[in-house]
């Protein structure tokens, strides 16, 4: 049953990635058919990002009310409706309206499933989960190209992906009993973890040591990934005189590096812990940036982009996987939504800013900006690891004294296995007191 559920979750992330490349692939034809300016694709992207931010911040509340399985099914259904809506658009304002439910659905799926996997599964699954997203993101433009080469055009591409989403909704609905079997997750309505205790507020979570730095890490990473993904071709064409066709091929090496790297990261989790993988990724990212800065030719530029993608691969999944370990499972779901919101802010805000730099100063500054973001991200995550307190004393006491099963995050955290002597003494005292009072 566990294998069946993780397979459904993998499929959900393939489905999450499928629509992400559709707009970019279809826009050259869409803007002409809709009579819209080429630059207005950015406006649609901003609306989608705003929707993901809103739904990410609401995910904790929705998971407590619906459970992860039902919320995932509802969110994918909302995304499917939006995709079918895109296929019927005849004007730009209609695209903007349908972008709202698409963003709301995508953000809720992302935050809910990341928290669920971080709490219930080993670290390798988080890396492979995001590898599945890369597979979907790469397949989406292929589907759109296939449909645009025939009579269906770009509306057909949206319809095909919409049908895939509907099929996934049916699969998730059939799998709902499996989700209920995975109890004790962060924020789960049916879990015993939060029983009898009020949900941790966002203000309380932000006051925990290391949380602001973790959120800054998410923002910087997604700003770097989205900026390099959008402007890599322009960097090659305008900065190094590479042909547009060659630049498109070389730029794809960045996402290929991310996808392959996430599969390899899942294997490396058998030998390295999450923090070691983060450091390895940061070093490889730095090598990629340096290669882009001093590259003597086209081959070296492609190698730099591939290295940058490989380095990016473990960063995002490991930051997510480490959330329960760093801050405890009691606030993991709410923190996940807050971190996702910061990630989407980075993805939304920095590519346009990088565009101003490319247009107003020089496209050659792309690796310089990437280097600055990498330094800030590395410093933020280092400080986060030094300040993070791990699971709360109440959570550790529950595990020691009441026999609550450990999550993957608790098994990886030394503090949750042993703890300090004062914590153990306090736990024994509480247990003895409970016994005397008859509870």
What are the pLDDT digits (tens) for 201-237? 777 777 788 888 999 999 999 999 888 887 887 788 8
Q: Which residues contact 47 (CB under 8 A, 6 or more apart)?
A: 96, 99, 100, 103
Confidence of residue 192 (pLDDT cuts 50, 70, 90): very low
Taking 90 as the threshold, does the pLDDT of residue 435 lie above it?
no
Within a 10 A sphere around the Cβ of 128, how many other Cβ atoms?
Answer: 21
Yes or no: say if 250 and 242 are a contact pair by the CB < 8 Å rule: yes
What is the DSSP track for 382-395?
HHHHHH---S-HHH
Taking 50 as the threshold, does the pLDDT of residue 321 lie above it?
yes
Beta-strand ranges (E) seen in 165-249 are none
Taking 50 as the threshold, does the pLDDT of residue 264 lie above it?
yes
Residues 77-106 have a mean pLDDT of 93
Taking 50 as the threshold, does the pLDDT of residue 53 lie above it?
yes
Yes or no: say if 348 and 51 are a contact pair by the CB < 8 Å rule: no
Alpha carbons 279 and 272: distance in angstroms, whole number:
11
Q: What is the pLDDT of residue 234?
A: 79
437 secondary structure, DSSP code: T
For the ranges 100-104, 139-143, 225-229, the maximum mean pLDDT occurs at 100-104
Letter string b/e over residues 261-295, b meaning 16 or more CB atoms within 10 A of that residue's CB: bbbebbebbeebebeebbbbbbebbbbbbebbeeb
3-state secondary structure of 15: helix
Letter string b/e over residues 365-374, b meaning 16 or more CB atoms within 10 A of that residue's CB: bbbebbbebb
Taking 60 as the threshold, does the pLDDT of residue 401 lie above it?
no
Yes or no: say if 187 and 333 are a contact pair by the CB < 8 Å rule: yes
Yes or no: say if 338 and 216 are a contact pair by the CB < 8 Å rule: no
Reading the block at residue 84, the tokens are 């079918």
Confidence of residue 389 (pLDDT cuts 50, 70, 90): low
Q: Which residues contact 241 (CB under 8 A, 6 or more apart)?
A: none
Confidence of residue 39 (pLDDT cuts 50, 70, 90): low
Taking 60 as the threshold, does the pLDDT of residue 299 lie above it?
yes
Reading the block at residue 65, the tokens are 């009310």
Reading the block at residue 409, the tokens are 């995050």
Taking 90 as the threshold, does the pLDDT of residue 98 lie above it?
yes
Alpha carbons 262 and 113: distance in angstroms, whole number:
17
Q: What percent of the chain has pLDDT over 70?
A: 79
Taking 80 as the threshold, does the pLDDT of residue 183 lie above it?
no
Beta-strand ranges (E) seen in 6-134 are none
């Amino acid at each position: 049953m566990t294998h069946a559920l993780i397979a459904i979750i993998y499929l959900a992330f393939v489905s999450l990635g499928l629509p992400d490349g559709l707009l970019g692939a279809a826009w050259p034809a869409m803007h002409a058919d809709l009579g819209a300016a080429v630059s207005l694709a950015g406006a649609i992207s901003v609306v989608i990002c705003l929707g993901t931010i809103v739904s990410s911040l609401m995910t904790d509340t929705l998971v407590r009310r619906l459970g992860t399985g039902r919320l995932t099914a509802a969110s994918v259904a909302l995304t499917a409706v939006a995709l079918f809506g895109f296929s019927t658009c005849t004007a730009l304002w209609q695209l903007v309206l349908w972008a709202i439910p698409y963003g709301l659905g995508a953000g809720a799926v992302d935050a809910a499933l990341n928290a669920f996997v971080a709490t219930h599964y080993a670290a390798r699954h988080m890396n492979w989960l995001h590898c599945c997203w890369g597979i979907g993101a790469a397949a989406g433009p292929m589907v759109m190209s296939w449909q645009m080469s025939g009579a269906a055009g770009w509306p057909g591409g949206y319809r095909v992906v919409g049908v895939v989403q509907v099929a996934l909704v049916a699969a998730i609905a059939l799998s709902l009993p499996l989700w209920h079997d995975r109890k004790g997750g962060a924020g789960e309505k049916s879990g015993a973890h939060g029983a009898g205790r009020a949900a941790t507020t966002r203000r309380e979570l932000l006051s925990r040591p290391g949380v602001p730095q973790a959120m800054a890490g998410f923002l910087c990473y997604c700003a770097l990934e989205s900026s390099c993904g959008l402007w890599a071709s322009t960097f090659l064409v305008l900065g190094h005189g590479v042909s547009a066709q060659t630049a498109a091929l070389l730029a794809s090496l960045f996402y290929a590096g991310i996808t392959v790297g996430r599969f390899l990261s899942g294997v490396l989790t058998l030998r390295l812990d999450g923090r070691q993988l983060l450091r390895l990724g940061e070093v490889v990212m730095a090598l990629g940036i340096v290669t882009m800065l001093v590259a003597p030719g086209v081959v070296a530029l492609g190698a730099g982009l591939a290295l940058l993608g490989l380095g990016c691969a473990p960063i995002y999944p490991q930051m997510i996987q480490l959330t329960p370990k760093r801050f405890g499972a009691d606030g993991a779901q709410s923190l996940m939504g807050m971190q996702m919101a910061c990630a989407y802010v980075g993805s939304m805000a920095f590519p346009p800013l990088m565009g101003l730099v490319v247009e107003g100063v020089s496209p050659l500054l792309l690796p310089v900006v990437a280097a600055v973001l990498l330094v800030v991200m590395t410093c933020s995550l280092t400080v986060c690891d030094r300040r993070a307190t791990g699971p709360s004393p109440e959570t550790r006491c529950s595990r020691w004294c009441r026999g609550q099963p450990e999550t993957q995050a608790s098994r990886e955290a030394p503090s949750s296995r042993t703890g300090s002597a004062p914590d153990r003494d306090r736990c024994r005292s509480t247990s003895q007191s409970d016994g005397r009072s008859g509870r």
